């Protein structure tokens, strides 16, 4: 069956977002990531700022996030329902987007939401620490934090977010139709392999 | 860099061996799996029968295996050195084969032995239980054991073998350049994706 929808999850600094962009461009598919969060914000009626900040940090319990959740109206014991509300709205939007037309969806547990769709291709991009550390500094600049620590922090947040949302393990090979090492293969080769699978079906 | 050597690991019943055969055939590469064990047997000077039975069951400590190990001359406390001897011989053979010419190597921790080679492509093939259970019965026939139990037993042995050999986790996405779900994608699509990566480099 033709793969009309591509979900792509990626380790921070692996170049996954760039791969997703190129795949979308070459196939003429729509591309969603930040746009998705904004749409969540609108649909769920929550302030954009809160959802943006909250999103992938859902289970990272620090005071800022609690403050944000509280400011959104979640009282004592209400944080979970806030998370749940955001996640449900997001799952609905992902499903709607997939129904609407061919697209590439980056992150946000898209592989989980669309796990039973036969017209979806679920992709995971990873690379070793050295490749990602170099790439993070060259693409995003030096933020004063050690690149390795920055990668570990970001990956940890993605893991927590994914687990809270899906009850599955982020990066578990069984969750994806194709997983690629962008460090060893190069970004272009990853794009090509994905497109082969989309077109070859 | 051109990928001259392909290592392929697979969950039992995923069709990985068939994929490896087709890739080797289409690329004109040599194909190794059982042949490799026989070569190990000859090089290490151990009886073929022992190595054949021992191989992927290395850490599965039942009396048969101990008996086989002992009959090969490993005395009390000598089982580990027996395992180690077989594994070292096998690693040497895998390296020699990779040096000799373009090839596809199935199982035997080939991805670990050749992990630092830039001209190697490391592949993992997996599929869900339902797909594999159906395939095992249709390809290998009914052996009286429940297919799901058969899959779990075999995968467990491969995991133990891999861990004893490599100190890594079998099926961990980071060990492979490409991991594919043969159940969702189909065997032909997997072959095509692998060939794209080999040729595209």
Q: What is the pLDDT of residues B131-187, one digit of tens each?
A: 999 998 888 887 888 888 888 888 888 888 888 778 888 899 999 999 999 999 999
Write the residue in A174, A184, A189 that is nearest to B200 by C-beta: A189
Paired sense of beta strands A103-106 and B103-106, if any: unpaired
Name the pTM for this structure.
0.83
Q: Which residues contact B168 (CB under 8 A, 6 or more apart)?
A: B112, B162, B175
Phi then psi for residue B27, to 5 deg, are: -95, -10
Determine, for residues A200 and B180 on separate chains, whether the beta-carbon distance falls below 8 Å: no
ipTM score above 0.90: no
Q: Nearest Cβ partner of B173 from A173, A189, A197? A: A173
d(Cα A167, Cα A60) in Å, to the nearest integer?
Answer: 16
Closest CA–CA distance from residue A165 to any residue of chain B (Å): 21
Higher pLDDT, B33 or B119: B119
- For residue B159, how far is the Cα from the chain centroid? 11
Chain B residues close to A197, C-beta within 8 Å: 185, 189, 192-193
- Return d(Cα B43, Cα A75) in angstroms, integer: 71
Radius of gyration of chain A measured on its C-alpha atoms: 17
Nearest Cα of chain B lies from the Cα of A19 at a distance, in angstroms, of 15
The pLDDT confidence band at residue A67, using thresholds 50, 70 and 90, is very low
Q: DSSP readout, B159-194?
A: HHHHHHHHSS-TT-GGG-SEEEEHHHH-HHHHHHHH
**pLDDT for res B160:** 85
Residues B93 and B14 sit within 8 Å (Cβ to Cβ): no
* pLDDT tens string A147-180: 888 888 888 888 888 887 788 888 999 999 999 9
* Nearest Cα residue in chain A from B118: A184
* Residue range A6-23: mean pLDDT, rounded: 95
Of B118, B128, B201, the CB nearest to A189: B201
Tell me whether residues A179 and B184 touch, CB distance under 8 A. Answer: no
> Over the stretch B43-92, which tens digit does the pLDDT of each residue have?
656 545 445 555 555 444 443 444 444 444 444 444 556 667 667 777 88
- So what's the pLDDT on residue A44? 58
Instruction: Return the DSSP state at B119.
Output: T
Report the gap between the CA of A91 and the closest CA in chain B (Å): 22
A41 versus B47: the higher-pLDDT residue is A41
Give me the phi and psi of B2, to 5 degrees please: -60, 140
Tell me whether residues B192 and A197 touch, CB distance under 8 A.
Answer: yes
* Token output for A51: 């959802």
In Å, how far are A4, A86, A117 from A93, measured between CA atoms? Answer: 16, 11, 15
Residues of B with CB under 8 A from a CB of A: 118, 124, 126, 128, 171-174, 176-181, 184-186, 188-189, 192-193, 196-197, 200-201
**What per-residue string of b and e applies to B63-102 under the rule 16 or more CB within 10 Å gives b?**
eebeebbeebebeeeebeebbebbbebbbebbeebbeeeb
pLDDT of A76 above 50: no
The rounded radius of gyration (Å) of the Cα atoms in chain B is 17
First to last CA, chain A: 5
Q: If you measure CA to CA, which chain A residue comes closest to B170? A: A173
**List of chain A residues whose C-beta atoms are within 8 Å of the C-beta of residue B173:** 124, 126, 171-173, 176, 179
Residues A168, A110, B185, CA angle at the centre, nearest 5°? 85
The per-residue pLDDT for A106 is 93
**Residue A160: strand, helix, or coil:** helix
Give residue A179's pLDDT.
Answer: 98
Burial track A55-88 (b if 16+ CB lie within 10 A, e otherwise): bbbbbeeeeebeebbeebebeeeebeebbebbbe
Three-class DSSP category at A145: coil
**Residues of chain A with C-beta less than 8 angstroms from the C-beta of B176:** 173, 179, 181
Q: Residue A34 pLDDT more than 60?
A: yes
Q: Which residue of B has its CA nearest to A192?
A: B196
Angle at B199 (CA atoms; ends B196, B200), nearest 5 degrees: 75
Of B124, B171, B197, the CB nearest to A193: B197
Between chains, do B179 and A193 touch, taking CB under 8 Å as contact?
A: no
* Angstrom distance (rounded) from CA B58 to CA B161: 6
If residue A87 lies in a helix (H) or strand (E), which one and from where to where? helix A79-100
């Amino acid at each position: 069956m033709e793969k009309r929808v591509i979900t792509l999850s990626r380790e921070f600094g692996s170049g996954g977002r760039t791969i997703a962009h190129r795949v979308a461009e070459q196939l003429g598919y729509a591309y969603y990531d930040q746009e998705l969060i904004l749409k969540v914000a609108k649909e769920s009626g929550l302030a954009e700022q809160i959802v943006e900040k909250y999103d992938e940090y859902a289970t990272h319990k620090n005071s800022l996030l609690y403050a944000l959740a509280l400011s959104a109206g979640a009282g004592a014991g209400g944080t979970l329902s806030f998370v749940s509300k955001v996640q449900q709205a997001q799952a609905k939007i992902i499903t709607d987007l997939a129904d609407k037309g061919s697209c590439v969806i980056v992150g946000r547990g898209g592989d989980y939401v669309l796990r039973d769709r036969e017209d979806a291709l679920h992709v995971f991009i990873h690379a070793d620490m050295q490749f990602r550390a170099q790439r993070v500094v060259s693409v995003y600049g030096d933020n004063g934090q050690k690149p390795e620590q920055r990668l570990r922090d970001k990956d940890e947040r993605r893991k927590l977010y994914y687990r809270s949302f899906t009850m599955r393990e982020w990066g578990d090979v069984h969750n994806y139709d194709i997983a690629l090492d962008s460090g060893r293969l190069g970004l272009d080769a990853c794009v090509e392999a994905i497109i082969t699978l989309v077109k070859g079906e």
